[in-house]
Structure 1
Amino acid sequence: MEGRRISASPRPCSGRRILAKKRACTNGFVNTVKKLQRREISSKRDRAFSMSNAQERFRNMRLMEEYDTHDPKGHCSVVLPFLMKRTKVIEIVAARDIVFALAHSGVCAAFSRETNQRICFLNVSPDEVIRSLFYNKNNDSLITVSVYASDNFSSLKCRSTRIEYIRRGKPDAGFALFESESLKWPGFVEFDDVNGKVLTYSAQDSVYKVFDLKNYTMLYSISDKHVQEIKISPGIMLLIFNRASSHVPLKILSIEDGTVLKAFNHLLHRNKKVDFIEQFNEKLLVKQENENLQILDVRNAELMEVSRTEFMTPSAFIFLYENQLFLTFRNRTVAVWNFRGELVTSFEDHCYGILTELDSS
């Protein structure tokens, strides 16, 4: 599972790296329904039992409770007009008996599952716009990532608040995180729940830092202006450097202490742009424009290729670590691949979210 990255931006409420963006759904829904109907009414054995079993399974599903993050009377003496407007909910985080809902405006509210009442708003400053939430199960706290009008919404500020304090209605009892870091755009902070780490990038001095998610202690830093991107996988980090004419330098580091485990160059076709470089455990996926997909095993340098006619550059990836598979999204097709370059299955006529980065270069 990849980390959650939030980037700084001078634009309020729009610079956050959105993970899912709805595409317009025309008749795809109708096609999917028709397929399901054909499947359910087919003459195959036990189909009637499966249909009745599904009906029983979902018979008791009903709306239990509704929560509203909008407060027409305002709160915290809000000074930003757009915080007063009703906007869609972009994040929902559940932590024990509390549900947090973050609206697109930047207002975040906490609700009690026991009383079904709103406990408090997490905006502790009148000019605070909350951009993202992260529940840190290591110390039972909620991390909020915010920007402020007083700073022209240009730099990220992180705050950690114990769930117990929020339960008592005291969201201002938290403390600031990473105060020494300059997280102005294009800087970012990325929370990696799998490895229990936080990655920050200060664009001002081109320094990446890795912190322990348990106690926020800085573990090590990476200072190299030639690093173009960092990809995080379980136990390791992949450093992608600025490409040369015929290759791209790569390094694989231990996520625990930053030790270089392997450094190598991956050969590229000259004068062709790199569509993507992705890391999945020991597998490296490299795709260039109008070229085959390359799957490299970094342990033994074994290389396999998938024809460009079979594997076309997708719009987004999802790695399934437990199943050792990955999903690709392209147009209206979702495909499932293994790391031998074989297509396992595909689904068509689905409407899905596309991973986008509003503030990426």
Structure 2
Amino acid sequence: MTDAQERFRNIRLQEEYDTYDPKGHCTMVLPFLRKRSKIIEIVAARDIVFALAQSGVCAAFSRETNQRICFLNVTPDEVIRSLFYNKNNDSLITVSVYASDNFSSLKCRSTRIEYIRRGQPDAGFALFESESLKWPGFVEFDDVNGKVLTYSAQDSPGIMLLILTKSSGCVPLEILSIEDGTVLKSFNHLLHRNKKVDFIEQFNEKLLVKQENENLQILDVRNFDLTEVSRTEFMTPSAFIFLYENQLFLTFRNRTVAVWNFRGELVTSFEDHLLWHPDCNTNNIYITSDQDLIISYCKADSDDPLSEGNGSINISNILTGKCLAKIKASNSFPNENECGQNSKKHRHASRIRSTAAEALEDITALFYDEERNEIYTGNRHGLVHVWSN
């Protein structure tokens, strides 16, 4: 805990990148690609920061030169929808739709980081070409198992839990092998009649089922042991994150975060971690690889004179709920020598136009680079800010 406090103690606003470039966007044939747009996703790998705007434009920036390397949109009509860093072969996977295809199907491309560093985003190759990923098809990346799950609407599903059409009083469920699709277990789960299903989630061998105004049910599919949690203790969350290292799961509801175990017990309530966005935008949340820290964009202290209109970046211990550090406007003034243009290393860097307070306004995406100990945030203006010590 002390180590984490020291790591984040002196983090300040150090650099600013802009994904919007009128000259760079002039080759884009789609009008909305040429407009300034908010950042929806940030990924960092090998000293490169990738920022994806809601418009579908994706830019790569170098942390060594503090310059934009390139845009990842290979064709003028490409709209990038999501990013995934594949650490197994040091490549970035982009998921895109295209105007020439009427935006009707997802196309995936893998590009090695070294090619992007050279400014060659077109040196990648297509993935899953045999799959028909037209709506309602989808692609999901499973970082834990190093797998990609695709649902080809014309062929077969590649998912772990298959929820079949609800019949009277029960819902048929099948658990499939992620390797070859073999049905490992098939069973019916009893439901309360005339009550809508709030969610069915599967985490390894545990199945979580919640119906409207009913208790949470935790079913062990190996032996069918059933645990119930009172509906007054566990209310339907808006999102989950499964902590596979600790066999726990996070729930998000009404800007609050809680940690539960699979015995239905509340493990942690956070003392100072009220999320800024009420709808739980998980792009504004980062869980460290050891799953011991959560970094989120939160509501700032009401007694902070510079906090009006902006939030703070809070770093909390997941197992204790303690707030270890907080980046807020009043303690985030940049070091002029580090972010100015006098330093030889930063001679190409553009001057930071935003104040720390402005950089903490309406953050729309957040990422923590654990190797560099840097936090990257994006906002509604398409700007990316680097917070570092």
Q: Partners of 1:272 and 1:352 in 2: how far apart?
A: 32
Question: RMSD of the TM alignment (CA)?
Answer: 2.3
Name the amino acid aligned to 1:292: N
- Whether contact under 8 Å (2:26, 2:34) holds in the other structure is no
Name the amino acid aligned to 2:172: P
Give yes or no for the alignment of 1:61 onto 2:14: no
Higher relative contact order (Cα pairs below 8 Å, separated by 6+ residues): 2
Q: Partners of 1:319 and 1:177 in 2: how far apart?
A: 27
User: Which of 350, 358, 361 is the matching residue for 2:274?
Assistant: 350
> What residue number does 1:336 align with?
259
- Whether contact under 8 Å (1:246, 1:268) holds in the other structure is yes
User: Which of 143, 147, 166 is the matching residue for 1:243?
Assistant: 166
- Whether contact under 8 Å (1:245, 1:271) holds in the other structure is no
TM-score, reference length from structure 1: 0.71
Per the TM alignment, residue 58 of structure 1 is displaced from its structure 2 partner at its CA by 5.1
Pick closer, same or farther for the CA change 1:75–1:248 going to 2, 3 Å.
same
Per the TM alignment, residue 352 of structure 1 is displaced from its structure 2 partner at its CA by 4.7
Give yes or no for the alignment of 1:114 onto 2:64: yes
Pick closer, same or farther for the CA change 1:58–1:181 going to 2, 3 Å.
closer
Per the TM alignment, residue 356 of structure 1 is displaced from its structure 2 partner at its CA by 7.4
Q: Matched residue of 2:245: which SS?
A: coil
Per the TM alignment, residue 122 of structure 1 is displaced from its structure 2 partner at its CA by 0.8
What does 1:187-266 correspond to in 2, within 5 Å?
187-203=137-153, 205=154, 207-209=156-158, 230=159, 237-266=160-189
Name the amino acid aligned to 2:69: I
User: Which of 198, 216, 219 is the matching residue for 1:275?
Assistant: 198
- Whether contact under 8 Å (2:252, 2:280) holds in the other structure is no
Q: Partners of 2:118 and 2:258 in 1: how far apart?
A: 46
> What residue number does 2:319 align with?
none
Name the amino acid aligned to 1:99: V
Pick closer, same or farther for the CA change 1:59–1:297 going to 2, 3 Å.
closer
Name the amino acid aligned to 1:166: I
Give yes or no for the alignment of 1:162 onto 2:112: yes
- Whether contact under 8 Å (1:76, 1:126) holds in the other structure is no
Pick closer, same or farther for the CA change 1:86–1:189 going to 2, 3 Å.
same
User: Which of 208, 216, 226 is the matching residue for 1:285?
Assistant: 208
Q: Partners of 1:140 and 1:345 in 2: how far apart?
A: 35
Q: Partners of 2:238 and 2:25 in 1: how far apart?
A: 40
Gaps of 5+ in 1: 1-49, 210-229, 231-236
Pick closer, same or farther for the CA change 1:294–1:64 going to 2, 3 Å.
same
Name the amino acid aligned to 1:291: E
Per the TM alignment, residue 333 of structure 1 is displaced from its structure 2 partner at its CA by 3.4
Q: Matched residue of 1:65: which SS?
A: strand
Name the amino acid aligned to 1:334: V
User: Which of 35, 40, 65 is the matching residue for 1:90?
Assistant: 40
Per the TM alignment, residue 260 of structure 1 is displaced from its structure 2 partner at its CA by 2.5
Name the amino acid aligned to 1:85: K
* Cα deviation code 1:293-348 (max 9, x no counterpart): 11111111111111222222222222222222222222243332221112223347
> What residue number does 1:313 align with?
236
Q: Which aligned runs of 4 or more in structure 1 are off by greater than 4 angstroms?
A: 56-59
Percent identity of the aligned residues?
Answer: 86
TM-score, reference length from structure 2: 0.66
Q: Partners of 2:17 and 2:231 in 1: how far apart?
A: 48
Give yes or no for the alignment of 1:77 onto 2:30: no
- Whether contact under 8 Å (1:195, 1:255) holds in the other structure is no
Higher mean displacement: 246-255 or 296-305: 246-255
- Whether contact under 8 Å (2:251, 2:258) holds in the other structure is yes
Higher mean displacement: 121-130 or 175-184: 175-184
* Cα deviation code 1:12-38 (max 9, x no counterpart): xxxxxxxxxxxxxxxxxxxxxxxxxxx
Per the TM alignment, residue 272 of structure 1 is displaced from its structure 2 partner at its CA by 1.6
Q: Partners of 2:65 and 2:14 in 1: how far apart?
A: 12
Q: Matched residue of 2:12: which SS?
A: coil
Per the TM alignment, residue 130 of structure 1 is displaced from its structure 2 partner at its CA by 0.9
User: Which of 84, 87, 96 is the matching residue for 1:137?
Assistant: 87
Per the TM alignment, residue 284 of structure 1 is displaced from its structure 2 partner at its CA by 0.9
Q: Partners of 2:7 and 2:222 in 1: how far apart?
A: 46
Name the amino acid aligned to 2:199: F
Q: Partners of 2:113 and 2:42 in 1: how far apart?
A: 15
Q: Matched residue of 1:131: which SS?
A: strand
Q: Partners of 2:77 and 2:185 in 1: how far apart?
A: 46
